[in-house]
Amino acid sequence: MADDPTDAPGDDVPSWLTDLVRRTYGDLPPELARYAGPVPAHARGSAVLVLLGAGVQGPDLLFLRRSGALRNHPGQVCFPGGSSAPGDGGPVGTALRETCEETGLDPSKVRIAGALAPLNLAHSGFSVVPVLGWWGVGGRIDGDGEEIVSVHRVPLADLADPGARLLVRFPDGHLSPGFLAGDVFVWGFTAALTAWLLRLGGWERPWASDRIEDLSDARRRYGGGPPP
């Protein structure tokens, strides 16, 4: 499920994170089955930055909440990222540029651990490359006030808490991972990618897989944008 990085990660990237990237090679995650398979030639290129840091409770993940006024994915919690631009030089450049634009994060503070294989978001016509990065202790960053209204560093321990896990039933009937961590409700592609990395990294704990909620009900109850 990953492409070998073109550059070796820096010495300041934790060994557990580089090991995690290596474990993605050749893995066929059931969590991402909906997004796997050949990417159509007409798909628009994009990338997201899966940014891990050293939080006070252990490693954490960076999530952004999109404005409810946006036409696409209003109110959803997501990883930073967006569409590729001609001057990006590849998915890593796209992920870093978009993160900087959305949060003001200095790209020089991020160390890249590796880029995964493209995933196909057929419903939106995008090909998405997840880029795994590390920013150590990080620091305070904010949303841009337009597209991004809030920024959240969520400990992996909170995401792995069995009480934070659920399955979300989409209108077409398929089930997908979901997370409730504090005031953050993560679902869809972002949650599927998070669930895979938790399992692969050994953080996943046994949880009640019979906890299933319809997406429309969950979004009304927990936020994450208007029901579809």
Position 7 scores a pLDDT of: 43
- Enclosing domain of residue 126: 15-222
Identify the CATH number of the domain in which residue 168 sits: 3.90.79.10
What residues have CB less than 8 Å from 168, skipping those under 6 apart? 175, 176, 177, 178, 187, 188, 191, 212, 213, 214, 215, 218
Q: Is residue 227 part of a domain?
A: no
Q: How many domains does the chain have?
A: 1
Residue type at position 222: Y
The tens place of each residue's pLDDT in the chain, 228 residues long, gives 555 443 445 558 999 999 999 999 888 799 999 998 888 888 899 999 999 999 989 999 999 998 866 666 667 899 999 999 999 999 999 999 999 999 999 999 999 999 999 999 887 788 999 999 999 998 889 998 888 999 999 999 999 999 999 999 999 999 999 999 988 999 999 999 999 999 999 999 999 999 999 999 999 888 765 544
Question: Burial letters for 5-44: b for 16+ Cβ neighbours within 10 Å, e otherwise?
Answer: beeebeeebbeebbebbeebeeeebebbebbbeebeeebe
Residue 216 belongs to a domain: yes
Cα distance between residue 129 and residue 118, in whole Å: 4
Q: Is residue 109 part of a domain?
A: yes
* Gyration radius (Cα) of the chain, Å: 16
Residues 6+ apart with CB under 8 A from 56: none
pTM for this prediction: 0.91
- pLDDT value at residue 187: 95
* 8 domain-assigned: no
| In-domain check, residue 3 | no
9 in any annotated domain = no
In a domain, 124, yes or no: yes
Q: Is 143 among the domain residues?
A: yes
